[in-house]
Amino acid sequence: MALQQQQEDEDHELVYTLDEALTSLGFGKFQYLVLVYAGLGSMVDAVEVMILSFIGPALKSQWGLSSTQESLITTVVFSGMLIGAYFWGLVADNYGRRKGLLTVAIVTTISAFLSSFSPNYISLLILRMLVGIGLGGGPVYGSWFLEFVPSKNRGTWMVIYSTFWTIGTILEALLAMIIMPSLGWRWLLALSSIPSFAALFLYTFTVESPRYLCAKGRISDAHDILRRIAIVNKTKLPPGILVTDQVTHELNEELLSPGKNKTSNFKTGLSSFLMLLSPRLRRITLLTWVVYFGNSFSYYGIILLTSQLSAGENRCFSVALNAKKHTGLYRDVFITSLAELPGLLFSVLVVEKVGRKFSMALMYVLGFLFLFPLVVPQNEVLSTVLLFGARIWVIGTFTLAGVYCPEIYPTSVRTTGYGVASSVGRIAGMVSPLVAVQLVRGCHQMAAIILFEVVLILSAISVLLFPVETKGRELVDHVSL
């Protein structure tokens, strides 16, 4: 009895951090369940974005829309994502990851389902913009999953999480091939909202991030969740008591304005944004914006270039376009989506062995090399091969940026930083068609490709300028630079 009491006293003298707890608990059944739910959220994003490739042409034909009106359906979704990415980051950082997940699921599910009943063009635009606002919460899913993963092989698991996006694009293309020819766009919208409903219904099984709880000083609540993880994984917590990542109060004051207590102001959107631009985070934030702009600009641009350059027509010499059957469109989108799988596989292989920074820089260079021959017009087959190759490497940089960005930011502003970076990427998504479509159709293919090449090189340089490599690095609650 005396020995047992002595052992308990010794255990109380021991302490362990959250990262040590997660390492001890391992990646088990609990994390697999978290992965599935977060992956479901990523699939929702992919499905709702991919819909834009299919409903535009159908609505243009059925409702007699102009090309500008058709394009606006896509624009309002990206505009909504621009707003949502910033807003949901603030919600998740200030009120908890679970509340962020719930509100994102509610907005996305309701607006996505109601879109299928849109009686006219204006109502469709409003509902699709609300869908975009909901989709802007995608970074919340990624940050939430990240905070349950042990530091060892964290990059690999984040890449695996990213594969749910590609799975969503492939499944949506298959669904469109089946639904659109017979049932039309309303049924496609309705059936595509099923993953959103699933995310909403399964929300009750989610738990708050223990890292977020530690960052808020709720150590007891975080410990309770860690004990639940231990039970599900059939593992044990380290002996002792849980302690949080301690950062001095003066450091938090320094982030905003020296000499004043601004802690209470961190809960406002302005102060969270100012923290991203504080001296200790400014470099990371600005470089991350460049990278996310470059990734989105290149990714969506390459998809559009595929339709512009691989259709076997030279629009500079032929005004009439060879009409493709809709089934051909769905098939092309399906095949294009499959091109992302090799990029994801390569990312899995290099993310932990080579590291985030060098891997991204390497893939930017490879993407640059694949696009370069397109400075001059090529035949259809070679154009298709080069564009597919470029997409392989661009999806790789997109994926690794999604690993690096939430890792580099502290817990207190993780989803805000991730969300704002995603917002910058949405701006690139809106700008990219002006280059990929308008310049190429205006017989300025060389100028379009050169601009894409400049963006890729600037992104590669920005990656190399990041101050730290996050491979194997423990996540921090406040600032670790």
342, part of any domain: yes
pLDDT band at 312 (very low <50, low <70, confident <90, very high): very low
The 10 Å Cβ neighbour count of residue 436 is 26
pLDDT at 205 over 50: yes
Per mean pLDDT, which range of 49-53, 187-191, 252-256, 278-282 is the poorest?
A: 252-256
CB 301 within 8 A of CB 430: no
Per mean pLDDT, which range of 23-32, 73-82, 393-402, 408-417 is the poorest?
A: 408-417
Q: What is the pLDDT of residue 130?
A: 93
CB 216 within 8 A of CB 477: no
149, part of any domain: yes
* 96 plus 185 within the same structural domain: yes
The amino acid occupying position 126 is: I
Distance CA 400, CA 294 (A): 13
300, part of any domain: yes
Q: What is the pLDDT of residue 460?
A: 93
Q: What is the pLDDT of residue 273?
A: 67
Q: Tell me the average pLDDT across 468-480.
A: 68
In order, the DSSP letters of 425-438 are HHHHHHHHHIIIII
At 386, which CATH number? Answer: 1.20.1250.20
* 299 plus 447 within the same structural domain: yes
259, part of any domain: no
What is the domain extent for residue 212?
A: 16-247
262, part of any domain: no
Nearest-Å Rg of the Cα atoms of the chain is 23
* 304 plus 378 within the same structural domain: yes
476, part of any domain: no
Report the domain count for the chain.
2
2, part of any domain: no
% of the chain residues with pLDDT over 90: 21
Q: What is the pLDDT of residue 454?
A: 93
Kindly report the average pLDDT of the chain as a whole number.
Answer: 79
More confident residue, 476 or 150: 150
CB 410 within 8 A of CB 280: no
* 395 plus 435 within the same structural domain: yes
pLDDT band at 250 (very low <50, low <70, confident <90, very high): very low
* 32 plus 174 within the same structural domain: yes
Per mean pLDDT, which range of 317-331, 336-350, 363-377, 442-456 is the poorest?
A: 317-331
β-strands 15-16, 241-242 pairing: parallel
313-330 confidence digits (pLDDT tens): 445 544 333 444 455 556
389-427 confidence digits (pLDDT tens): 888 898 889 888 888 888 888 877 777 787 788 878 878
Q: Tell me the average pLDDT across 431-457.
A: 80
Q: Tell me the average pLDDT across 8-18.
A: 65
pLDDT at 153 over 60: yes
* 173 plus 295 within the same structural domain: no
Distance CA 92, CA 73 (A): 28
Query: Which residue has tokens 């719930």?
Result: 102
More confident residue, 479 or 195: 195
pLDDT at 368 over 90: yes
Q: What is the pLDDT of residue 329?
A: 56
* 203 plus 347 within the same structural domain: no
131, part of any domain: yes
pLDDT band at 76 (very low <50, low <70, confident <90, very high): confident
Query: Which residue has tokens 């601009």?
Result: 451
Q: Tell me the average pLDDT across 141-156.
A: 84
Query: Which residue has tokens 């974005």?
Result: 49
* 329 plus 425 within the same structural domain: yes
* 149 plus 64 within the same structural domain: yes
Distance CA 380, CA 397 (A): 26
CA dihedral sign, ordered 154, 160, 166, 168: negative
